[in-house]
Amino acid sequence: MKTVDELSPVITEENINRRVAEIGSAITREYQDKDLVIIGILKGAFIFMADLVRKIDLPIEVDFVRLQSYGSGMESSGQVTITKDVELSLKDKHVLIVEDIVDTGYTLKYLKEVLSLHETASVKICCLIDKKERRKVDIEVEYVGFEIEKGFLVGYGLDYDEQYRQLPGIFHLTPRYEAKGFVPSER
Ligand code: PRP
């Protein structure tokens, strides 16, 4: 039975806000005079996406997708499917995928390939957290908020067992159980 999880701060709300504003400005500069569609990956990206779009000073369209990856434990296997597809037309538009965390890279590799089939003008990726050292497939991420090496992270959209998404900062989680010790594998 779960008692209390231990949370240690990794990135503060202030640092996230500062970095999100910087990325928003960079996106604003890059996509001047271009038709830009921002696509968030549910659920984890919903808070980052909401903050980021308010720092982009351009006319944009917004859409969401949801993906399911199958795997053992908490690491995806590379088998990814779309459970909620994009609804806007992407033809001739510049697409920016917004993701909370890139881990193995399977999710984004799959989504980028699928979105490219829509005859887009371009498809680029923006993620808040890049766990580069856990990458299994090669994927270019154009905008990265923070590179973090280790630890299971929660907060600012990231969950553990659907909890903690609403925390304003990013935390490292160590779950505590009454009966026996349990450490989740990396995301
Ligand atoms: C997490 C995260 C990414 C994906 C990254 O989603 O939000 O979408 O895993 O992993 P990958 O790089 O190894 O593919 P999760 O499946 O936990 O769903 P959620 O966003 O609904 O929390």
Summarised one tens digit per residue, pLDDT across range 101-116 is: 999 999 999 999 999 8
Residue among 100, 103, 130, 159 flagged as catalytic = 103
C-alpha of residue 104 to centroid of ligand 1, in Å: 9
Give residue limits of the domains in the chain: 13-151
* Residue pair 90/115 in contact by the 8 Å Cβ criterion: yes
pLDDT at 40: 98
Ligand 1 mutation pick, 69, 130, 153, max ligand atoms within 8 A of CB? 69
Amino acid at site 45: A
Query: How many whole angstroms from 32 Cα to the centroid of ligand 1?
Result: 30
Catalytic: 100? no
The structure tokens 């659907």 sit at 162
Residue nearest to atom 15 of ligand 1 (CA): 44
Triad 89, 69, 77: Cα angle to 5°: 130
Report which ligand 1 atom has the smallest distance to the Cα of 44.
20
DSSP 158: B
Smallest Cα–Cα separation from 114: which of 65, 45, 63, 77?
A: 65
Helices (H), the chain: 13-30, 46-53, 106-116
- Each as own residue / partner, the long-range contacts of residues 24-29 (CB below 8 Å, 24 or more positions apart, any chain) are 24/52, 24/54, 24/55, 24/56, 24/57, 25/55, 26/143, 27/52, 27/56, 27/58, 27/96, 27/126, 27/143, 28/55, 28/56, 28/57, 28/58
Closest atom of ligand 1 to 68 CA is 16
Q: What is the pLDDT along the chain (187 residues), one digit of tens a residue?
A: 556 789 999 999 999 999 999 999 999 999 999 999 999 999 999 999 999 999 999 999 999 999 998 765 556 677 999 999 999 999 999 999 999 999 999 999 999 999 989 999 999 999 999 999 889 999 999 999 999 998 899 999 999 999 999 999 999 998 776 445 556 666 6
Instruction: Assign a CATH topology to domain 13-151.
Output: Rossmann fold (3.40.50)
Neighbouring C-beta atoms of residue 143, cutoff 10 Å: 20
Residue 1 Cα, ligand 1 centroid: separation in angstroms?
26
Report how far ligand 1's centroid is from the alpha carbon of 101 (Å). 7
